[in-house]
Amino acid sequence: MVEGKVVVVTGAGGGIGRDFALALAAEGAKVVVNDLGTSTHGEGASAGPAQQVVQEIKAAGGEAVASTDSVAEAASAARIVQCALDHFGRVDGIVNNAGILRDRFFHKMSVDEWDAVIKVHLYGSYHVSRAAANHFKEQESGAYVHMTSTSGLVGNFGQANYAAAKLALVGLSKSIALDMQKFNVRSNCIAPFAWSRMIGSIPTDTPEQQARVDKIKQMTPAKIAPLAVYLLSDAARAVTAQVFAVRNNEIFLMSQPRPLRSVQRSDGWTPQQIAEHAMPALRASFVPLDRSADVFSWDPV
Ligand SMILES: NC(=O)c1ccc[n+]([C@@H]2O[C@H](COP(=O)([O-])OP(=O)(O)OC[C@H]3O[C@@H](n4cnc5c(N)ncnc54)[C@H](O)[C@@H]3O)[C@@H](O)[C@H]2O)c1
């Protein structure tokens, strides 16, 4: 599907990104396996994970190069894209997958916890995307895949930093799709559900939490990869600005905000009229204060 394409996968030293890199290489892509080799909280660094995935790809007869720069700063993110140009002479696809978590209830979240997560997910995806954008424009082709999350699309406890970043990526993706459509550049999001070390940080203090984690364990990262490979291929030339979710053998097309219902008065509104007329009329379409698990409430297929 992606024979000869050069694809950068960030955070590809483990979890979902590793399976993206393996699947892309198996389908003929030359892969930049980027990973800082950091902890789930973003502490420390190691070249080991990226190099190990490169070895796996080479052992299977594929082509790959390791990159251990961080996505979180402009200069190092530019080096990740440069790595593709230096080794393979071009870049055709970017998968913004690197990520960390610093979960905390909002009323206890520190500036550092907010910053660290926004920097890796939102700034990181911006920096890497931006570094590739000029090349995509010049060659009049390119595809972005950004990893979002139902934590942002729907909601979860204790993830204000992560949810804000992940929903922002949907806006980033849509903007890239609009701005770069004239250069045949596409941009889509995937909200994955998969058992990885990142999910390993979900607390299992109550039987309800334990049951939720047991359910997630059935979903392997490899199940996400086929959609990413497809979105990076020419077969997806008509697919852009979409948000998908993947959960085991299920693929979802997610909705994007559009007006649900409207009210109008020809002479305008007072706050009291809003209370008495507008809200009762709109209330029937209110979106409930639910969490990801409330919406994806059935066992993965
Ligand atoms: N696992 C899930 O169910 C799930 C759900 C929703 C979204 N996601 C998203 O999918 C992506 C992959 O998550 P995962 O579950 O495989 O987690 P993971 O922790 O296994 O993988 C993330 C990788 O990113 C790397 N990384 C972190 N900071 C980096 C940086 N600054 N520069 C380069 N690499 C960096 C880490 O070293 C790690 O190998 C993330 O964006 C995550 O938010 C995962």
Residue 256: name the closest of 181, 164, 158, 188 by CA.
188
Among all residues, which ones are annotated catalytic?
Answer: 162
For residue 87 the two structure tokens come to: 């080794």
Q: Output the pLDDT for position 201.
A: 67
Residue 51: name the closest of 63, 38, 33 by CA.
33
Closest Cα to atom 9 of ligand 1: 147
Atom of ligand 1 nearest to the CA of 101: 43
The alpha carbon of 62 and the centre of ligand 1 are apart by a number of angstroms equal to: 23
The alpha carbon of 150 and the centre of ligand 1 are apart by a number of angstroms equal to: 14
95 Cβ partners below 8 Å, 6+ apart?
7, 8, 9, 10, 12, 17, 20, 144, 145, 146, 147, 228, 232
Q: Output the pLDDT for position 217.
A: 85
The alpha carbon of 95 and the centre of ligand 1 are apart by a number of angstroms equal to: 11
How many CB atoms lie under 10 A from the CB of residue 63?
Answer: 16
The tens place of each residue's pLDDT in the chain, 301 residues long, gives 999 999 999 999 999 999 999 999 999 999 999 999 999 999 999 999 999 999 999 999 999 999 999 999 999 999 999 999 999 999 999 999 999 999 999 999 999 999 999 999 999 999 999 999 999 999 999 999 999 999 999 999 999 999 999 999 999 999 999 999 999 999 999 999 998 888 776 778 898 888 878 877 889 999 999 999 999 999 999 999 999 999 999 999 999 999 999 999 999 999 999 999 999 999 999 999 999 999 999 988 8
User: Which of 32, 70, 97 for a ligand 1 pocket mutation test, highest count of atoms within 8 Å of Cβ?
Assistant: 97
Separation between Cα atoms, residue 143 and residue 231, nearest integer Å: 8
Residue 182: name the closest of 151, 216, 142, 144 by CA.
142
Atom of ligand 1 nearest to the CA of 150: 6
Q: Output the pLDDT for position 274.
A: 98
Q: How far are the Cα atoms of 73, 86, 101, 154 from residue 111, in angstroms, in the given order?
A: 18, 37, 14, 24
Q: Output the pLDDT for position 215.
A: 75
